[in-house]
Structure 1
């Protein structure tokens, strides 16, 4: 789950779970809860982002499908919201957006009023039973969409060359494996072992299938391939009908009504059963993900509203509660990683999430003003006589310098991933005179391998921490490097240095300030000024941004495997470039002939065609170079979670790059609040 919502985890989860949530968000250090952004700013003239939110609010309030009872509550809220004084949060001053006339220099330096009204300005002041502030007053939604039940296909697998009968449940699990026969997972021993353990449990002890090596899933795989071809062969009309039916089935689950406002639900689909894949070398890859039923799910709804229905007669939801202090809509235990929970949230462009995003980056900006003093303190603590203080100061240096994650303790059945606080002696190597080599599996089992030059005091400390503990007892390679504290203690210490500070905030700060610096350039006096790439063609400008984005991704260790079809894509690009070069040679020959003949008009025409072809070649070269350079780097993760989007928006405005060239449509909606940023915004 998102770090911003960690206070909303179920109590049982908070007690037992040192790990992070799910749902596709990068969520390390989930014990951090950024401060809520309480203030709003009026809008003098709506910018693109303000208009997007205004349109969404209008659509929500005026929609015919808003329940009548909620419509009245919304109108009452709107009247009261006008009476609430608004102020600008610290560090959020904004100048008018591009295209708005500036009347004076005084006006330019004034804080930009904010266009988005608080979602729950009235309910913010109320207290829950535990003293927590309410996040909403009314909440109505239609629950989750369950995947269809399994329909047996009747194709038999072979065992020792002979077709065997399977129950529908066993056939389903066999099919899970069969459809993956053309992936690399089936070549991994861990995947095979975990699948086989789960399959044997489903088969039962009396089933004739006893050995994996005698199993042949080929017939089911062939059935799967034929089914895929049938889908490809469908007419456009058939595909359109299926899509329309899918949209009809999903329509009622897509929206919730919060305080009378229509909000989009982010992840209303329950993941179907299958085989867990994981990333990297996850120890649970191949484990069976069982089907999730209503009896597994806790629902959060408002008082007095209808309980969402479901397609399973005789079953009840695990729990139906009304918790106004949280913003999750539902949760259930992850069927594979049982200490984790899956959540249903409102979408990334909901008011809850947009406010939380903006608050996260504002908090990171506050760290900018305090980081100097924090660094001075941890440098002084490197020589502390207290073992724990010295260790924590050394760890904080690595978190600051390398943007390492905190790292939480793991159970034996969890992936042996490592962050700063749970580094083992074997994960570090001291290289004279003052370099340290890191080698460990980070989040999602992605390997982190890096050699860095460090301060001499840090180097000596690490050597000392590797040799022995505080009492002088020698350490084994599997012993903890930092043996006197854990991630919880470190985050508690950080909160003493600055309210709300955590390892996550440090990562956000370092990612954002790095991007901000990369997109600027020092002048002769050493001051930073905006770096212009306007003189470059658009593809080169985009490549310049992607290069900066890549450096941030490398800092945060956001890696990925090259796409399956990467080599084919590169070959296709190279063929296109070769074809363009051949066309250019022919055009150049025609141009030379035209010059010799003295045909001025033809020369002018051919010159333009040559220039256009040269531009096309340069653009393709840039595309190929960028693709090759970024094949193992996940650029999206830092955009989604760590880089202040206002830096990107401002850069695009300064350099006349369309925002959609660097942000996906989903990110543009998620960060619609940032679209108001002016071209001179600085983190």
Structure 2
């Protein structure tokens, strides 16, 4: 089997508890840009004002175009000195055996140029550019005529534009009537605008080849010989035998199914039940301990060697500006963990090699040299309409892709973030009309229109994700469009109880009071259906997003989510009442918590939470005893008496009443701070504040709030967020979302 297998990453390091369960790819979705502007109402009544409606919980359980103004672009380039091209020295060659992969697995890029594969947004964009072209041509032609001719030409021009717009509306109607199309993941296509002119980088860094350790596992209590490929996969499982994953039937079954082909039919190992991985586990534990006990000098040397090897991959040069690259490391092989009861947990993540990777780089830039002899990149592209530097198919789900982008602190990412939040801010100019329209359609005689209205209401009021239809081998997570009858229960007189697994298999359990017409409509949608039937059988994410883009350009469920998260934070922060910095920060965290609850950003209670609270409680008791002792000493000092002996029976020195009063004030402040910290810590034990802060809350709201209340921004944003949101730091204190 050696010629059939690919060697994998060495498993001697300490990173078996890393973030393998995080999503492995950015899903690529078709974007359809439809032009509309049917409302200029300026009513932006915040969702936060109606939080009791949307957040009455009975029990809670566990890339955009780079089109910034020229001034902004110039400033961003001037702020960073021009950097010479990156060094493209040939890296050290590492020989990796061509084995242990999916047998005969090849990934081919579809070269079909059929127009059906062109994103609808691009087709509509071409229609828009045609309109603009006609206008420009007519304007040019009219410049040489008199005023009468100009007026006549303008009239003809308007008629021509109207005809073209009518043609575009026909295209839009055709799109909207494509009722059978389901959302699907597609291979990355070109973007919708030039993002860069020149791009240089050094590609990606691969994990080192596997080094066999030679420790034999036991089968039926007897040592067993394994090839390096077989041993590597066995080691992947062995290091996890004391985790909850190794106790899950699905995890074990998937591991066994993927390991068997590498063992072969004639191998002595036939049954998983007779396998004993303990010797390998013990070897791994010793290796961890050995690394832990290394001297500080040795650890420092290893760290410096690692940084030196990675240095050239950490940077790219975009339009002459040196920018940091995000995750430039190819993911090492291992066993997939997933979240919740993911159907693919335990499956083997095979080694990614150069022939799996597509590189994107400037046309005149040197192509990164392939670091593995006998290998070459799958493809080299020169697409300046996208911002990714490399991508490859996910080894677990070949419908998903793993990308390498510039770091969050890069100018491109900063511009993308700013545009994202500006898009969400634009929604306030449309939101009143949108709500008025979907409210009117609650009682529509058209069942499709009625379902779209109810779904839009739920996305707006509850910040639900749109949701995609899942294949059998994908985690059965749910969004608005993929809700089943069994996920929503009617509770009289007009409440709905939602119970389903959301993104990352996190349970969404919420009971909310809704509009009476929504309550009745949900009852109609459920009528005559079984528990596993679609609640919105006439709707999918493609149709919903087409509808949303028809009422506001670029509107999606995520824009709703970003808008509602940001407007909620902005509104709640207006009620900041704290007097001290500690109290003011607690007000912020409470507002952040409400946003996290709205977005269903939960986390399980950490194992150490109870112990941590007990330690804080003990410290609190000690401080209270100190305070009581100080107050006694103060009383005696005022009466001219010496202080009592301390708890250990030692005589305390005499102190003036003024000195004791200062100590009492200081100790009281410590007690108040600790009491507040304990309350906040316990209050937030099941809420993940970070996700909404990173992805959904406009950072300018936080920066402006910090400036208004003189709170150091470092108290709210950690180092990585300060870098990510550098573009937001110059906002004025009176900024409102």
**Normalization by structure 2: what TM-score?**
0.75
Whether the 8 Å contact between 1:429 and 1:436 is mirrored in structure 2 is yes
Q: Please give the per-residue CA displacement for 1:490-541, whole angstroms capped at 9, x wherever unaligned.
A: 00000110111111100000000010111114xxxxxxxxx453x1x32222
Q: Please give the per-residue CA displacement for 1:430-485, whole angstroms capped at 9, x wherever unaligned.
A: 11111111111111111111111111100000000001xxxxxx322111000112
Alignment of 1:143-292 (within 5 A): 143-292=203-352
Structure 2 Cα separation of the partners of residues 131 and 209 of structure 1? 51
Q: Please give the per-residue CA displacement for 1:80-102, whole angstroms capped at 9, x wherever unaligned.
A: xxxxxxxxxxxxxxxxxxxxxxx
Query: How far has the Cα of 1:55 moved from its partner?
Result: 8.7
Query: How far has the Cα of 1:311 moved from its partner?
Result: 2.7
Q: Secondary structure at the match of 1:430?
A: strand
1:557 aligns with 2:580: no
Whether the 8 Å contact between 2:22 and 2:338 is mirrored in structure 1 is no
Residue of structure 1 equivalent to 2:47: none
Q: Please give the per-residue CA displacement for 1:226-246, whole angstroms capped at 9, x wherever unaligned.
A: 111111211111111111101
Query: How far has the Cα of 1:31 moved from its partner?
Result: 4.4
Residue of structure 1 equivalent to 2:194: 134
Query: How far has the Cα of 1:594 moved from its partner?
Result: 2.0
Structure 1 Cα separation of the partners of residues 312 and 64 of structure 2? 33
Whether the 8 Å contact between 1:144 and 1:270 is mirrored in structure 2 is yes
Structure 2 Cα separation of the partners of residues 32 and 545 of structure 1? 37
Distance 1:37 1:141, change over 3 A: closer
Q: Secondary structure at the match of 1:57?
A: coil
Residue of structure 1 equivalent to 2:697: 643
Structure 2 Cα separation of the partners of residues 462 and 616 of structure 1? 53
Q: Give unmatched runs, 5+ long, in structure 1.
A: 1-20, 68-128, 468-473, 522-530
Structure 2 Cα separation of the partners of residues 32 and 592 of structure 1? 76
Query: How far has the Cα of 1:225 moved from its partner?
Result: 1.5
Match of 2:426 among 366, 380, 391: 366
Query: How far has the Cα of 1:565 moved from its partner?
Result: 3.0
Whether the 8 Å contact between 2:627 and 2:668 is mirrored in structure 1 is yes
Higher relative contact order (CA 8 A, sep 6+): 2
Structure 1 Cα separation of the partners of residues 342 and 671 of structure 2? 42
Distance 1:172 1:584, change over 3 A: farther
Match of 2:669 among 611, 615, 618: 615
Structure 1 Cα separation of the partners of residues 397 and 634 of structure 2? 67
Q: Secondary structure at the match of 1:346?
A: coil
CA-atom RMSD in angstroms: 2.5
Whether the 8 Å contact between 2:65 and 2:195 is mirrored in structure 1 is no
Match of 1:513 among 567, 572, 575: 567
Distance 1:587 1:204, change over 3 A: farther
Q: How many residues of Structure 1 are paired with residues of Structure 2 in the alignment?
A: 576
Residue of structure 1 equivalent to 2:537: 483
Match of 2:473 among 413, 416, 423: 413
Q: Please give the per-residue CA displacement for 1:150-185, whole angstroms capped at 9, x wherever unaligned.
A: 111111112222221111112111211222233222
Match of 2:443 among 357, 367, 383: 383
Query: How far has the Cα of 1:598 moved from its partner?
Result: 6.0
Distance 1:511 1:594, change over 3 A: same
Residue of structure 2 equivalent to 1:342: 402
Whether the 8 Å contact between 1:36 and 1:356 is mirrored in structure 2 is yes
Distance 1:265 1:422, change over 3 A: same
1:328 aligns with 2:391: no
Whether the 8 Å contact between 1:276 and 1:285 is mirrored in structure 2 is yes
Whether the 8 Å contact between 1:142 and 1:256 is mirrored in structure 2 is yes
Whether the 8 Å contact between 2:481 and 2:539 is mirrored in structure 1 is yes
1:681 aligns with 2:732: no
Residue of structure 2 equivalent to 1:539: 582
Alignment of 1:6-17 (within 5 A): none
**Normalization by structure 1: what TM-score?**
0.80
Structure 2 Cα separation of the partners of residues 578 and 181 of structure 1? 41
Structure 2 Cα separation of the partners of residues 235 and 35 of structure 1? 47
Residue of structure 1 equivalent to 2:376: 316
Whether the 8 Å contact between 1:299 and 1:329 is mirrored in structure 2 is yes
Whether the 8 Å contact between 1:22 and 1:342 is mirrored in structure 2 is no
Q: Please give the per-residue CA displacement for 1:563-602, whole angstroms capped at 9, x wherever unaligned.
A: 3433333333233323323333333333333233268962
1:501 aligns with 2:544: no
1:576 aligns with 2:604: no
Query: How far has the Cα of 1:560 moved from its partner?
Result: 1.6
